[in-house]
Amino acid sequence: MLNLIFSRKLIPLVCGFGLGVLGLAAQAETTSSDLQPKTLLNSNTDTAKGEWVGTKAPDFRLQDQNQQWHSLKDYQGKWLVLYFYPLDDSPGCTEEARQFRDLYPTYVKQNITVLGVSLNDVSSHKAFADKLGLPFPLLADTQHDLAKSFKVLRGFGPLSYSKRETFLIDPQGVIVYHYASVNTESHAGQVLKDIAKLSSK
């Protein structure tokens, strides 16, 4: 009986701690800035994680919040913004999603697709998307395959999350911009400006 009582008290504490740690991780990602993206526009920054720039994007097949499947080949001929974020409904991830939501009509007009990705499941994405009225897909990378492919998987012990990074993929499926750090309040607008620069070359 003592073990049962102990377990009932301990499990919520452990779960609460886990969510708290992930929340802190998500909040920490919020304070970053996108001052030094890895990009074809500035070849002297194509070091370290700049290994991505100029390479074919890894393929994927994941469900979104509406249980619709998405793969890289679905977006051939379009610009694709693939943005990873740590946790649904955390402050920084909420702000970043709102920015993409508010600018989404501009993205659509320019034939640019936005896909958000985190390790949360479909039901979590559904609640998050409905709460914010998000018009774009949120992919559920529950097996961590896509996060591993893009080397953004992070964790604390058994708790895992995807680092806040964005990959801009051109209509040929090539990564042309890698934002290794992101300012959640200005990122969506910055991506549009960068696509405009790339398109004018």
pLDDT in tens, 111-136: 999 999 999 999 999 999 999 999 99
Q: Residue 15 catalytic?
A: no
Q: Is the pLDDT of residue 32 over 60?
A: no
Provide the residue range defining the domain that includes 178.
2-199
Q: How far is CA 151 from CA 24, 84, 154, in A?
A: 20, 11, 9
Which residues lie below 8 Å from residue 106, measured CB to CB, with a gap of 6+? 192
Choose the catalytic residue: 93, 112, 153, 169.
93
pLDDT single digits (tens) 12-31 = 333 333 445 455 555 545 44
Instruction: Tell me the CATH number at 103.
Output: 3.40.30.10
Q: What is the pTM of this model?
A: 0.79
Q: Is the pLDDT of residue 34 over 50?
A: no
At 156, give phi and psi (nearest 5°). -125, 100
**Total number of domains constituting the chain:** 1
Q: How confident is the model at residue 5 (pLDDT cuts 50, 70, 90)?
A: very low
